[in-house]
Amino acid sequence: MWLDGPRAGKVAGSRNAAGYWQITIDGINYYGHRLAVLYMTGEWPEVETDHRDLNKTNNRWRNLRKATTTQNQANSPLYANNTSGIKGVTYCKRTQKWLAQIGLGGKCIFLGRFIEKSDAAAAVSDARQRYHGEFARAA
């Protein structure tokens, strides 16, 4: 929030190309969510900051949480090029089965091949809950 001048009372910063709120201070660009952590805790965040609701501009304190890179990626949305409609489930034309996998610590964890898409989805869902916990996001 601008405190004085012609913009007093208006929200400081703007949305950047990646969709995050960005604020420039003394010529340096900062992400709004990182500034929110600094403001609320008095310390610069040492790890990533995750937006619980995936809204990159929702920097309310209740929407932010500390996260590792793996946790932050687990809470990512369904990619636009996903054809199954389920994160971690793809169709293998060669075997004509559904492939289930999740990412964990920069590695791909293979969960199996399934005849039914619903079985692959269940395997992914179970693994996400087990390994990603509160950061698990199905879609």
Read off the pLDDT band of 2 (50, 70, 90). Answer: low
Percent of the chain with pLDDT over 70: 96
The residues spanned by each domain of the chain are 14-67, 73-135
**What mean pLDDT comes out for the span 12-19?**
90
Read off the pLDDT band of 138 (50, 70, 90). Answer: low
Task: State residue 127's pLDDT score.
Answer: 94
- Select the more confidently predicted residue: 43 or 2: 43
**Arithmetic mean of pLDDT over the chain:** 90
3-state secondary structure the chain: CCCCCCCCCCCCCEECCCCCEEEEECCEEEEHHHHHHHHHHCCCCCCEEEECCCCCCCCCHHHEEEECHHHHHHCCCCCCCCCCCCCCEEEECCCCEEEEEEEECCEEEEEEEECCHHHHHHHHHHHHHHHHHHHCCCC
In terms of CATH, what superfamily is 73-135? AP2/ERF domain (3.30.730.10)
**What mean pLDDT comes out for the span 99-105?**
91
CATH fold group of domain 14-67:
Homing Intron 3 (I-Ppo) Encoded Endonuclease; Chain A (3.90.75)
Do 12 and 32 meet the contact criterion of CB atoms below 8 Å apart?
no
